[in-house]
Structure 1
Amino acid sequence: MNFETRRIFKSKVTSQNLIRELLQMMFLGELLAPGGERAWLVSPWISNIVLFDNRAGGFSTVNPEWGNREIRLIEVLTDVMARGTALGIATSLDGHNDPLIDALTLAAAEAGLAEKLYIVRRQHLHIKGVLLKRGLLTGSMNLTYNGLEINDEMIVYDTMSKTLAEARINFESYVEVGG
């Protein structure tokens, strides 16, 4: 099946794991074939969510250092940067985001990747999006446990090059105006 745009409505009773699986596929694609352009995570609230359940070792070929455990967002993002993709994070000024931002900044610095990470915090940010080389995920969901597991959400996954380019221009404007 070939599609350019897909809408997913998630609730406690429908499509429970579909968004997590989509995020996994998006990040696996980026890890296996890193892009030349900056990846973006844009969300008012971001947490160090579990992205991969590697307790059975199914993702060990992607990164043998992960071990047989749950792999969280910070580890995946650090690995994405280590493989050559610059990363932009745009989030709100809310203190909820401080632990993730602090831990990601430290992980990037410890890995010698600080120049690959750009963080912008905005007071009125309400946009939500994950933009990688091959796809854009947008919609109502914040990158939090509640967004993935609890809340009813509607997301759109898009692979159209025009849509990806428009999102990239908009997200890159955070860099141009300095946040």
Structure 2
Amino acid sequence: MERKIRTGEHTGVKVDSVLAAAMLAALIAPDNHLWLVSPWITDVQVLDNSDGAYDSLFGGTPPQSYRLSETLNRIAANGTRVHVVTRAVPHNDDFLRRLHRTSSDIEIHIDEDLNIHEKTLCAGEWIIDGSMNFTIRGMAKNDESVTYKVGGVAAAQARLDLSARWEGGA
């Protein structure tokens, strides 16, 4: 399955439901690796559990919304090796601080040469890629083109490529 969406403030289309589906998949069916590649990252809200719909995934935690850092931490705690690739720019500092504070199980790769056009989130059998940074503006304001693929070889190939680039093929 492949779904291409064009998001933006003018279209009214958001990526929230696609991103939530991917995060839920990573929580429900942990994989060996999850990769998040984005030159700019904000600690955006990715899961809204304020109505308690996902309580079985979050145990005794009261219903609430979950930010990207919290969700990645939970995914890592389930046994998935989480990799975050980004640039060392002041915009990313708050997100990286929260990520460091919540988990030591997440591998952060800082790459000053990271192509500003490269944005990917992938694990298991799914991949989200396109022009969208994982920021508030990228998810809600900017006009973006995002593709969500489930099944096929795209996610596996992306994981191999990302591993070769930032882990030397591990």
Normalised by the length of structure 1, the TM-score is 0.86
Structure 1 residue 131 corresponds to structure 2 residue 122: yes
Within a 5 Å distance, the mapping from 1:52-63 to structure 2 comes to 52-63=47-58
Per the alignment, residue 8 of structure 2 pairs with 11
Residues 63-98 of structure 1: CA deviation (Å, up to 9, x unaligned): 034422221111111110111101000001211112
**Distance (Å, rounded) in 2 between the aligned partners of 1:65 and 1:46:** 29
CA distance in 1, matches of 2:40, 2:60: 28
CA contact (8 A) 2:123 2:159 kept: no
Contact 2:38 2:119 survives alignment (8 Å):
yes
Match of 1:50 in 2: 45
Q: Is the 8 A contact 2:27 2:57 kept in 1?
A: yes
Residues 103-118 of structure 1: matches in 2 within 5 Å?
Answer: 103-108=98-103, 114=104, 116-118=105-107
Q: Measured at CA, do residues 166 and 66 of structure 1 come closer, stay the same or move farther in structure 2, by a change above 3 Å? A: same
| Letter of the structure 2 residue corresponding to residue 6 of structure 1 | R
Query: Structure 2 regions of 5+ residues with no counterpart?
Result: none
Which residue of structure 1 aligns with residue 162 of structure 2?
171
Q: Say what the alpha-carbon RMSD is for the aligned residues.
A: 1.6
Contact 2:7 2:140 in 1 (8 A): no
- 1:21 pairs with 2:14: no
TM-score by length of 2: 0.90
* Secondary structure in structure 1 of the residue aligned to 2:55: coil
Structure 1 residue 120 and structure 2 residue 109: aligned? yes
| Paired position in structure 1 for 2:28 | 32
Code of the aligned partner of 2:90? G
Contact 2:85–2:110 (Cα < 8 Å) also in 1: yes
Aligned equivalent of 1:141: 132
Which runs of 5 or more structure 1 residues have no equivalent in the other structure? Answer: 109-113
Query: Shift of residue 50 of structure 1?
Result: 0.5
Report the alpha carbon displacement of residue 15 of structure 1 after superposing the two structures with TM.
Answer: 5.5
Match of 1:82 in 2: 77
Question: Once superposed, which parts of structure 1, at least 4 consecutive aligned residues long, lie more than 6 Å away?
Answer: none
Q: CA deviation at 1:160?
A: 4.0
Paired with 2:157 and 2:63, the residues of 1 have a C-alpha distance of 38
Indicate conservation of the 8 Å contact 1:8/1:15, yes or no.
no
- Cα distance in 2 for partners of 1:72, 1:66 equals 14
Do the aligned partners of 1:54 and 1:68 also contact (CA within 8 Å) in 2? yes
